[in-house]
Amino acid sequence: MFGWFVAVVTAFSADLVWAMPVAACALLLIPASDGVVRIAAWWRNRRSNLFAGALMFRPSSGAGATRRFLRTASVRVLPYDVVLTNTVGEERWLGRAGAHGVARVVRLVASTTGEPLAVEFRDRNGDARALLPWKHWFEGQQGQDRWAELKAALAVPVADEKLRIAENASVWWQGHMLGADVRKMSPMEAEEARKETDWYRSVIGRNELLALPLFSAVLLAGLFSDELPAFLAGLLSALTIAAALVPAVASALVSRFSYDKVIEKAEANV
């Protein structure tokens, strides 16, 4: 944006009309570079064989699930690691060896009813390293099969442990050191999921989505000019506005009406 500022000041103060398309081009480079980064990341992930041979477990497609949750969240068991990916794509790598490796799996059950609540991955010191909510991962017949397969894949001791829930607790995981795992390893509210995954909020900075169209609007009127430099500046400014707003609007619409919409009926192939 500094290049845009210098070129605009030069164009208006020194009356150098060819500085206007230079200024517009400087702004266009910002969303263009964003696009290059996104495409490069997509291509790298597509060709990655990092998880080749991993045993992957997906969450249950029961009531309350969203397409984002079903397509993104997973537990992968590798020969030397266990990789948990939450609803917004964040990964947590847990070793399977060493003092802090996954050495035990504990199913937490309610002390009063015996209802399964969650699954803890614990290390050799007995410390919890990760927490999976039972409802969204192992509930139902398919969930029971998934639970049996996960135990077989990890090949570590498994035990049930009663969890005493405080009387004044609003949710069972209140006070649990890994309570945040329950939120992110479960379907998230659409607004929260968009906030966590939005490109401008999580990677670039949320002000850029507002700044780019505003700065581009300064030279947008050149579209109606008969002078070639002014017209080019207006055209490049229009492209900058489109490159900034169209992906953001499209992402919000897909999230609102599809990706983060609760699936009313369980889908077999999501």
DSSP state of 112: T
Q: What is the pLDDT of residues 216-234, one digit of tens each?
A: 888 888 888 888 888 998 9
pTM for this entry? 0.79
Q: Where are the domains of the chain?
A: 2-46+196-259, 74-184
209 touches 30 (CB < 8 A): no
Amino acid at 52: A
pLDDT at 269: 42
H or E element that contains 55: strand 55-57
Q: What is the pLDDT of residues 30-60, one digit of tens each?
A: 888 888 888 898 888 777 788 888 999 999 9
Give the CA angle between residues 148, 153, 155 to the nearest 5°: 95
129 touches 102 (CB < 8 A): yes
